[in-house]
Amino acid sequence: SAFTVDTFTHSFLYLKMSREQLVVQRAKKAFQTGKTKPLEYRIHQLKSLYRFVSERRKDIADAVKRDLNKSEHGTELFETLGLEGEINLAIERLAEWAAPRPVEKNLLTIADNVYVQPEPLGVVLIIGAWNYPWAVTLQPLVGAIAAGNAAIIKPSEVSPNSAKVMEELLPLYLDKDLYPVVTGGVSETQELLKQRFDHVFYTGSSAVGKLVMQAAAQHLTPVTLELGGKSPCYIDKNCDLAVACRRITWGKFVNCGQTCIAPDYILCESSIQNQVVEEIRKSIKEFYTDNPKTFEDYGRIINKRHFKRVMALMEGSTVVIGGESDESECYIAPTVLKDVTAESRVMQEEIFGPVLPIITVSGVDEAIQFINEREKPLVVYVFSPDNKLVRRVIAETSSGALLANDCLVHFCVSALPFGGVGNSGMGCYHGRHSFNQFSHLRSCLIKKLKLESINNMRYPPHTASKMTWA
């Protein structure tokens, strides 16, 4: 009968499908049932995600310890707290975010219903990074679920312990068809990228970002690219240098420098360079003791490849703090380089490691020029008590975000869109912005079949008398 032939063809087709094709098919089917449309369903899944994070805190912390040598409290502070906050915010605000958004009316629409209706995009792909393997993979997922999508989650293979825990435990909490975890490396990611998605959300390097966008273009799939780059940090000589350098030391060396929004290099006048070095030295000692290698809160470089890359970046520059390393543990001491030139090796790519070069400039004018001669960074940092100077840097440079007198903390402000511009990425997320990023903002105009006389002007014949009426 037709039934058996059909079942046979189906099984045959499934047999021929790759794992990646299969999960995408399943997610699509599950999405098409309309299951994710009711807000109650999304809230239920968000609550399960919250439960996953709180019940599996220990599994998560153990995995991150093995991947990056992060301490348990470090993981709580930098991975799970923010994630829980984002989940709670989404649960609390979902009804408001998902509601029709009335827009301004004019004379022609005064009697109509005019609004924007957010709707789910469909099946989205989230490709995470390894440096904060939970935050940068599951925070986008919060937005994808809240907006009513199915999402394929691809954790980074570079942090294998976190990827494994995610693959094993997340399906115990979330719908397996709608939110499957797919693990694997480059070839699996490439196979995934061949599939047709309704959105791809990628976090990682600009180089791979281009490949992701290329693959997505085959299906006209829109992308969010959360990339990196060299985020500059200008220190004004009138700063409280002790406080400024303490905050910069924290922002740079946390997670062993492997933070997309870490200050990549310092720009300051030569008259304060030595003082900056000494203040950073003090803070390194305060945070990580005289021996960071044995201190539990100092991280490790993720793997040997990155270890070798970061070590090579120091070549040709003057080390004033740190410089020690141990390849067997992927350990690199908190390191500061002074009198670095724009041509030096360390200035040719994003450092993504615990190495902080200082470049001297004649003042804020030269700093602005230096920043503008390069790719648009993810963040511009400026430390100054002078509000006018800060406003000038805002007005005369461009970057994903600008943070004055602190490091990293803008990531935790859910009201601020988080993302890059130009080479540091496109699109943004966090809080309501995540919801919007994973929604189609559909224009709706609902008219009545009444008041036909006011439409006369648009119907032929287009006579002068009709125009004078207008």
| Interface positions with ligand NAD (CB under 6 A) | 129-131, 136, 156-158, 185-186, 189-190, 203-205, 208, 211, 226-228, 260, 350, 352, 378, 425
Q: How far is the CB of 194 from ligand NAD (least distance, A)?
A: 10
Asked if 226 is an active-site residue, the reply is yes
Q: Which is nearer to ligand NAD, 156 or 335 (CB)?
A: 156
DSSP H or E stretch at residue 275? helix 270-288
Write out the DSSP string of 7-73.
Answer: HHHHHHHHHHS-HHHHHHHHHHHHHHTTTT-SHHHHHHHHHHHHHHHHHTHHHHHHHHHHHH---HH
Q: How far is the CB of 137 from ligand NAD (least distance, A)?
A: 10
Do β-strands 325-326 and 265-268 pair in parallel, antiparallel, or remain unpaired? unpaired
Q: Which is nearer to ligand NAD, 208 or 213 (CB)?
A: 208
Q: How far is the CB of 28 from ligand NAD (least distance, A)?
A: 22
Q: Which is nearer to ligand NAD, 21 or 318 (CB)?
A: 21
Nearest to 252 by CA among 342, 321, 340: 321
Nearest to 260 by CA among 251, 273, 269: 251
Q: How far is the CB of 351 from ligand NAD (least distance, A)?
A: 10
Backbone angles phi, psi at 267, to 5 degrees: -115, 125
- According to DSSP, residue 264 is labeled -
Nearest to 413 by CA among 425, 399, 402: 402
Bridge partner residues of 319 (DSSP): 337
Q: How far is the CB of 205 from ligand NAD (least distance, A)?
A: 3
Q: Which is nearer to ligand NAD, 122 or 377 (CB)?
A: 377
**Residue in 233, 256, 260, 268 annotated catalytic:** 260
Instruction: Give Cβ neighbours of residue 364 (< 8 Å, ≥ 6 apart).
Output: 234, 236, 389, 392, 393
Residue pair 138/81 in contact by the 8 Å Cβ criterion: no
Q: Which is nearer to ligand NAD, 84 or 157 (CB)?
A: 157
Q: Which is nearer to ligand NAD, 147 or 378 (CB)?
A: 378
Q: How far is the CB of 378 from ligand NAD (least distance, A)?
A: 6
**Residue in 20, 79, 86, 226 annotated catalytic:** 226
Can you tell me the distance from the alpha carbon of 272 to that of 251, in angstroms, rounded to the nearest whole number?
A: 20
Can you tell me the distance from the alpha carbon of 384 to that of 213, in angstroms, rounded to the nearest whole number?
A: 38
Q: Which is nearer to ligand NAD, 179 or 411 (CB)?
A: 411
Tokens, residue 375: 């790719």
Asked if 96 is an active-site residue, the reply is no
In order of 148, 290, 327, the CA distances from 287 in angstroms are: 43, 9, 23
Residue pair 250/283 in contact by the 8 Å Cβ criterion: yes
Instruction: Give Cβ neighbours of residue 291 (< 8 Å, ≥ 6 apart).
Output: none
Q: How far is the CB of 235 from ligand NAD (least distance, A)?
A: 22
Q: Which is nearer to ligand NAD, 30 or 301 (CB)?
A: 301
Q: How far is the CB of 170 from ligand NAD (least distance, A)?
A: 17
Residue nearest to ligand NAD (CB): 228
Helix (H, G, I), strand (E, B) or coil at 195: coil
Which residues have a catalytic role annotated? 226, 260
